[in-house]
Chains A and B, each alone.
Chain A
């Protein structure tokens, strides 16, 4: 479960200080599927970075599964992130010189997981995402949709409770985007908390809960039970 209390984050841009988040309060249940929409500069990316422990709020509390994350050190946050959070980016961020399998295995390599266990887990996850015949390909040899699915495999290989997707379909055509969204939603159906930041209203509408942000705060917060893809 995620709980944000009175979260504030300001950036210094030149002489101006920009209030990216303003006294934000938010609670997201485990296993939920939430989309965050809003115009550029509304603070949605900042929110996502703070949720993923990449950024720290200037003030306020952020509780993730009961842990107060604001007081954690850099190293503790990194380890917490490794175990609890997966990221999916608009531009995939795959390492070009590593094969798809090695890209997927990267979090486990960094965590020092045994190579044998690593190999098995990568195999399983690639098979479940329909990428088993692409395992030894470099990212440059994969299509956009395959790249993003590889990135999703990497984000979920450590079995995190929270999956954060920042414009996951932004660099994809309609068909691949649909594929990727289905993949993400099926992971959500298996219990992972899914948070999607998007500009695309069609994508946003698919979520059970749609949050609209504006000027660093929540403008609207709608529950959308009818559009749940697979009723759990």
Chain B
């Protein structure tokens, strides 16, 4: 039998049983579609998290006060309260090896007002280095001026969203705003960057670190951001930081150093396995679709018993009949998978448009895997009905038995 004739014959058969064919196509399409949608969501989540981390900056190490690591043994005899992480600590790190830049960070919330408008925003105190360490970019004006970090200065750089809310479309550069009870002159506006680790940079005001510490009336830094010389220098930089701070803190290791790469790869791994798990669950629906195909094909074989008998009478060997039914199952699987891919991709596209902050795209491997699994289930579950059809006794089949 010619391949084209086989396809035509199976196609006519499938078309003539529309309801049955439609049902199987829907089942197959749901399976394939859900695999595609769920993997796209998983991949989207993974990319979202990894973007969050990379928007922090490159070769970044984050120093935070306190030790967030549990160790065995007795609790320390001396009180475990960590020493403050101060500007002097930060200054000491500047001189250490393997480190390119550091940016001390003080963080707090304060009202900021311009004329009658007032907003509560996150105020970040830092130095001129923050621009490079955090990968920030300016839309207008300039960043915090370089200089002694312990000197206060009444200047601020504000985020794009904050600028819009305080000044509308009017000019902001050079204007004086009030943060808490102090006046600051706006010297720069940041480019919109989106969220990064929960802090919306476009909705912050950045002021010199000394001003922030005095504004919040504290000596403790919230974080020290450290940029290592290179990716390879990260472990060395980490060691140096811990060593140096321990010396300065009377030999107590009371800081935690998080490297961005370690975090990134951990989260990456978590989300990748999550995606695979979800895809695996979705694949179960493909198996269900396969069982449905098997059931419906078995019914079809018993309904077409006489026809199978006739095919045998006009000279069709068992092998050929098996092939016919398998191709029918395969065509169903391909058609169902195609519909599933189209609806899945369309669904992902619609969700991508509906959620502008969350970028979604269909990973190519998931399309390939879904279609392959669909085809495989179609054929595997098609074998049993096809075998049954092929093994019918022609005399009994012709009699409809």
Contacts and interface: CB of A to CB of B under 8 A. Distances in A.
A97 B315 contact: no
Contacts of B16: 96-97
Nearest to B304: A95
Interface in B369-401: 394-395, 398
Nearest to A77: B317
Interface string B310-340: 1111111111100000000000000000000
A111 B307 contact: no
B317 A93 contact: no
A112 B314 contact: no
Judged by DSSP, the binding face of B is helix
Interface stretch (B5-13, B271-279, B294-302): B5-13
Contact of A54 (B313, B319, B320): B313
Judged by DSSP, the binding face of A is helix
Chain A CB within 10 A, most for which of B313, B315, B317, B320? B315
Given A93-B398, A97-B16, A110 B315 contact: yes
B254 interface: no
B307 A95 contact: yes
Interface stretch (A60-68, A82-90, A141-149): A82-90
B2 interface: yes
A74 interface: yes
A111 B6 CA distance: 11
B280 to A, nearest CB: 39
B313 A87 contact: yes
A57 to B, nearest CB: 13
Interface in B1-54: 1-2, 5, 9, 12-13, 16
Nearest to B320: A110
Nearest to B310: A93
Contacts of B203: none
B318 A75 contact: yes
Given A97-B12, A109-B9, A110-B320, A54 B315 contact: no
Interface in B67-91: none
A81 interface: yes
Interface of B: 1-2, 5, 9, 12-13, 16, 306-307, 309-320, 394-395, 398
Interface of A: 49, 52, 54-55, 74-75, 78-79, 81-83, 87, 89, 93, 95-98, 106-107, 109-112, 115, 154-155, 158
